[in-house]
């Protein structure tokens, strides 16, 4: 059931979490499917509802740095990043505190956790709940992430009792996941915080910001497989449209045979990458829910948040068949 974000509904969400239920909540990135991070049974419900493989660990959400302290060891650089980017779309991988009562079910056997402090409604829920909350994106595993309440309802339907409507997510893409290793900061997943933002923040520390080598050991197990995939086939970096394709356009680029498009949606008429990120998942699902079987996507500049957009699009175009 979708409900508005009035206090009584926030309180109801907290109550359900206390009872070991799962609820869907908005964040600034995408909607999350939330459960008590210390309750193994509740966490099992998440994996079941999403049909998520158990080897894919969940992000631990806290309200602030002080709360994070109880669950992981925070080095100086990671703490600095938290001060700059929290509350916001940055998840940091850190060693788990042995005394932490985070359920092993959420961690896929790792001795690290990815931790972040989300904004707004989700943050209020954590504060009222008083414990950390795990939350993957509120969609069936491998499908397009939801950036509005209706998209959660469409993906998970009767598997979640309560969906709090917080409108459209302001960023529209998941958090960036980073990990500090040997004075180098590795980006494990591109997202709402760009590489440039991280570089600028860390300039005075002489910390290099690197993108994880695709062939390196998979650090974020959910990273390399097909993901964010619509049912339709997705063709990227197109300059020409084929028969029977819808067009996901960007800016004012000229696309040959554009008039053949079954449908056209433009991620950003003005070529604004943040606007494109905001629209990406929503537009992909609108096209996918129409009769369209093939989606052709115009080139997106690979700068700033464009890197995260291209990462999602690339994985949307890979099919596990
Ligand atoms: O923006 C977000 O991060 C959203 C909202 C709801 O907060 N959540 C989200 O969760 O995107 P999910 O489950 O869809 O993606 C979590 C990613 C997965 O790729 C997982 O492999 C990685 O985080 N991850 C979790 N724990 C990790 C760890 N200890 N080390 C490396 N990667 C980890
Ligand atoms: Mg996800």
The predicted pLDDT at position 228 comes to 74
pTM of structure: 0.95
Rounded to the nearest angstrom, the distance between the alpha carbon of 246 and the centre of ligand 1 is 31
* pLDDT above 80 (res 220): no
Spell out where 87-183 has E strands: 90-95, 112-116, 133-134, 162-164, 176-181
Mean pLDDT of 174-193: 96
The predicted pLDDT at position 38 comes to 98
Residue 30 CB–ligand 1 contact under 6 Å: yes
The predicted pLDDT at position 291 comes to 86
Spell out where the chain has E strands: 2-3, 23-25, 32-36, 59-61, 90-95, 112-116, 133-134, 162-164, 176-181, 184-189, 208-211, 233-235, 246-249, 264-266, 294-297
Angle 16-22-28 (CA atoms, 0-180°, nearest 5)? 105
Rounded to the nearest angstrom, the distance between the alpha carbon of 251 and the centre of ligand 1 is 30
The CA R_g of the chain, rounded to the nearest whole Å, is: 19
The predicted pLDDT at position 120 comes to 92
Binned at pLDDT 50, 70 and 90, residue 230 comes out as confident
Residue 112 CB–ligand 1 contact under 6 Å: yes
């Amino acid at each position: 059931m979708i409900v508005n974000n009035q206090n009584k509904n926030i309180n109801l969400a907290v109550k359900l979490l206390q009872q070991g239920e799962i609820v869907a909540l908005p964040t600034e990135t995408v909607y999350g499917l939330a459960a008590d991070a210390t309750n193994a049974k509740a966490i099992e419900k998440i994996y079941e509802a999403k049909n998520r493989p158990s080897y894919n660990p969940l992000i631990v959400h806290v309200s602030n740095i002080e709360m994070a302290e109880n669950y992981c060891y925070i080095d100086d650089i990671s703490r600095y990043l938290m001060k700059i980017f929290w509350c916001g779309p940055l998840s940091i991988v850190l060693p788990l505190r042995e005394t932490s009562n985070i359920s092993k079910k959420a961690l896929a056997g790792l001795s690290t956790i990815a931790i972040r402090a989300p904004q707004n409604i989700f943050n209020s829920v954590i504060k009222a709940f008083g414990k950390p909350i795990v939350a993957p994106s509120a969609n069936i595993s491998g499908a397009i992430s939801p950036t509005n309440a209706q998209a959660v309802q469409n993906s998970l339907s009767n598997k979640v009792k309560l969906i709090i409507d917080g409108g459209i997510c302001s960023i529209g893409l998941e958090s960036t996941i980073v990990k500090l290793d040997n004075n180098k900061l590795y980006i494990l997943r591109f997202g709402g915080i760009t590489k440039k933002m991280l570089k600028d923040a860390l300039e005075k520390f002489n910390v290099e910001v690197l993108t994880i080598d695709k062939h390196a050991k998979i650090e974020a197990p959910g990273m390399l497989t097909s993901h964010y995939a619509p049912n339709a086939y997705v063709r990227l970096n197109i300059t020409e449209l084929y028969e029977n394709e819808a067009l996901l356009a960007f800016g004012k680029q000229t696309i040959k045979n554009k008039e053949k498009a079954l449908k056209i949606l433009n991620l950003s008429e003005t070529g604004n990458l943040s606007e494109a990120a905001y629209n990406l998942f929503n537009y992909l699902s609108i096209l996918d829910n129409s009769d369209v079987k093939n989606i052709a996507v115009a080139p997106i500049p690979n700068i700033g948040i464009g890197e995260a957009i291209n990462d999602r699009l690339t994985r949307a175009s890979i099919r596990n068949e």
